[in-house]
Structure formats: C-alpha cells, structure tokens
Amino acid sequence: MTTPEPRHITPPDRLRRPVASALDLVGWTPLVRLNRVAEGIRTPVYGKCEFMNPGGSVKDRIGQAIIEAAEAEGSLGPGGTVVEATSGNTGLALAMAAASRGYRCIFTMPDKMSTEKVRLLRAFGAEVIITPTDVPNDDPRHYTQWAARIARETPGAVLADQFYNPANPKAHYESTGPELWEQSRGRITHFFAGAGTGGTITGTGRFLKERNPEVQIVGVDPVGSVIASFFHTGQMPEGEVYQVEGLGNDKIPGTLDLEVVDDYVSVDDRSAFAMARRLTREEGLFVGGSAGLIVHAALERAREIDDPDGFVVAVLCDWGEHYLTKLYNDEWMTEHGHPVESVGVRGP
C-alpha cells in the first residue's frame, strides 16, 4: 500500500512566527465554500468562519477594540471594571481582553442564553448576573438597563455599551470588510449578516459599499425581532420572544445603520436550528443557531439569484459548543417543538 504524500499547507503570514498574545489571533478567519447544503444552487455561497476566532465568535473583533477605545479616552484605567449587557459572546470577547490587562468584568445576560456561555464567562473570572428575557427594554430588570445601573454605581467602572459604541462598527470596517474584499478578490456580490448590535453588518457593509456600491448588504432577523419589520415599514412593532441567541432585538440599536442595508429578511427558529445542525453534519462546520439563521436566508437568495458568477457570503457567527444543551440536544429541541433526526451511537 502506497502512503500518500502529505498535503502542503502554506500558513498565513501571521502564523509563520509567534504572536504576542491570543488577541493577535483575532481576525483573518477562513472563507469556506458551502457544498452539500447548497446542492442544486448554481450561485456560490461561502461561510465566513468567525467561530475560528480565539474566543469562538465574531464578537472577538470588538472586545479588544472597545477596551482600547475606553483606555484611550481615559474612562478605563488600572484596577477598573468592564460592565456589559451581553448575550454571551461579546462578554467573552471583553473578558479575554480584560484578562490580559487586569480588569474586572461584570456582565448581565438574559435567562434564555445557554448555560455554556454563562460557564465560559465565569471561567474567565467574570461575574454574571442573569436577568429575565421577557420584559420591555425600558424595564429596570432588562439586561441593558441593569448593566447601565451597575456601571453607574461601581467606582472605576465603564459600560462597554456595544449597542451604541462607535468602536463596534469601526472594528468591522477595519477588519471584516477588508478581509472579505481580499478573500473574494473583490468579487463579493452579496453579504448576509444578522444584527444584535448592528456592528457587523454596519461596519462591514460600509467598507464593501465603498469598494463597490453594487454589493448587496442583506440583514437577517429572527422572527419575533423588530428590526426587519422596522426596516420595511418604518413602524416599530411589538417584539416577541424567539429562541435564536445573539441576533435580533426589541429596539433599533444605535450602532445599526440601516442606510447601509439593501434588504432585510426574517427566518424562524425552526429553520435556523435545522440549518445549523445541517452545517455541522453535512459541512463539518460546527456553528450556533445564528449561523443557521443567516445561511438559511443566504441559500434561499442564492437560489433566486441563480448566477454562477455571483459570490454570496454568510457570517458563521459562533461556535456550536456554546449550544450543546440547546439546539444540539435532541430532548431540548423536541421540548421546544423542533423536529430532529437523531444521529448517534446505537446499541448492538
């Protein structure tokens, strides 16, 4: 039997030598073509693998940027505390950056978030306060209101304020956008992303539009979020509870610039979770429900476009291990009304 020659893999320039810290590994995530889930679709669809950032999500890009901006303006100094309202991933990104600088972290999180995210934040030494999900955004128990109060009452604390902090979209304008332009060799035609804060779609969209105004920027919203409806009607509807984490909102975040967005579509929880599980089992891309949400919308639009010269990119927001007790748990899926096809170890 002949032993095959090993594949020669040329590493990116930044991996040819040691880096100063884990934060230097943020960004330049791979762009991977989707194959089996895109079977029968002539338009090429690619996933931007943000789960390959060191903290496992797209939010790694803004954690360091927000802390450095606070240091530069003098609101955060030695022995300070970083406070934020988070669905988990921004908290982890901030905790990573804060750990390297010796800051304390306090995070508020809605109670619908996975236990994995809570445990990850606590592993980094953060204090985590769980708040009710189903309350109005002006209720003092809402996770954003609670975080703001903690920041006001804690000496030396700064509110990261990802929903309104200009450092959020700026980080994507300076990193995610240029990466996609380079990786696609300027051929990108459509960019699909969600908006929790709006930083990813705003910053990336601005950069891509500057390079080519014809690039279509498409927002993807969970059914129950208010953003897609507001985009199309200009009216603010009542938000409803949904199960996908990290995307959508019950208000329009200050960092979301809807002028950059060309279209907005909505996807339900069931379709999002089903696609996330397909991406794992059929593409080997272990992602969370938000990636499933975005890819579902991107594939539907790619089928409509039906153009082999198109270049559709969907953001794969975070790592699936954050959701082992939820969307990758058959019992949880069944309990919440989502059909599953169980695959696992079987007896003799």
- CB-based burial, 41-75: b 16+ in 10 Å, e otherwise: bebbbbbbbbbbbebbbbbbbbbbbbbbbbbeeee
Distance CA 307, CA 189 (A): 11
> CB of 237 within 8 A of CB of 229?
yes
Residue 334 CA, chain-centre distance (Å), reads 25
Q: 3-state DSSP call for residue 105?
A: strand
> CB of 239 within 8 A of CB of 224?
yes
Any long-range contacts for 233-242 (C-beta under 8 Å, 24+ apart)? 241/112, 241/133, 241/134, 242/269
Distance CA 231, CA 143 (A): 24
Distance CA 173, CA 210 (A): 10
Tell me if residue 59 is catalytic: yes
Distance CA 8, CA 72 (A): 43
Catalytic residue among 48, 59, 117, 251: 59
Active site residues: 59
